[in-house]
Structure 1
Amino acid sequence: MSDLSNQIRKIIFEKYNDPDTRFTNDEVFAVLQQNNLVDKSLIIDDMEPHFENLCSSGMMRNIAQNFTTQWFKLFEPLEEKKCSSCGMQNFLSKSEESNCLYCQKPI
């Protein structure tokens, strides 16, 4: 998983970590831009594979779409877990494998 996907997970954990809360790819992308976490040349369409991967992981689901805006909801709250092997923070749902997103070792 890319570092950008992990940054998206962190934003979702910090701002939208409630299964009843709706959020959009545009809102998450705006936070990435405000915090200079994405190259200025990227557009929202470039983010689609990252959001698709997060849906495929079972972490969240797409509940609506309007042109390039997608609305999402989490299946369950994310948990912050620190990897004892590499020390990196991970943001995972209970239903996902508890493997570090950076080094792939069990957490």
Structure 2
Amino acid sequence: MIVMLLVMIAVFYFFLIRPENKKKKAMNDMRSSLKVGDNITTIGGVIGDIVQVKDENIVIEVGADKVRIEFTKWAVSTNNTADKAAAKAQEAAVAARKQAKKDKKNK
């Protein structure tokens, strides 16, 4: 009975709690690495470029009129600049693996 309870707790931890903690850590890392020039999307759907980074806040420029809006860092949902760079790096890695396979096959 006790063994079954311990197994259930372990399953609960590895399938629910641990992934959530990883997600929180990734979001905190992303928010702490924001820099001027990054293109971001807020949790409200506002998309803009960062023009100023403060301790807890950021200022972004949106639209053709270059309107500046200040948000807290926790309101940032995604860093579009970093996401695009990561996607390009992944594409390059896949292309390199394909090329290596092709070269190995041709030998």
- Give TM-score, length-normalised by structure 1: 0.22
Greater RCO, CA 8 A, separation 6+: 1
Q: Which has the higher helix share?
A: 2
Specify the structure having the higher radius of gyration (Cα). Answer: 2
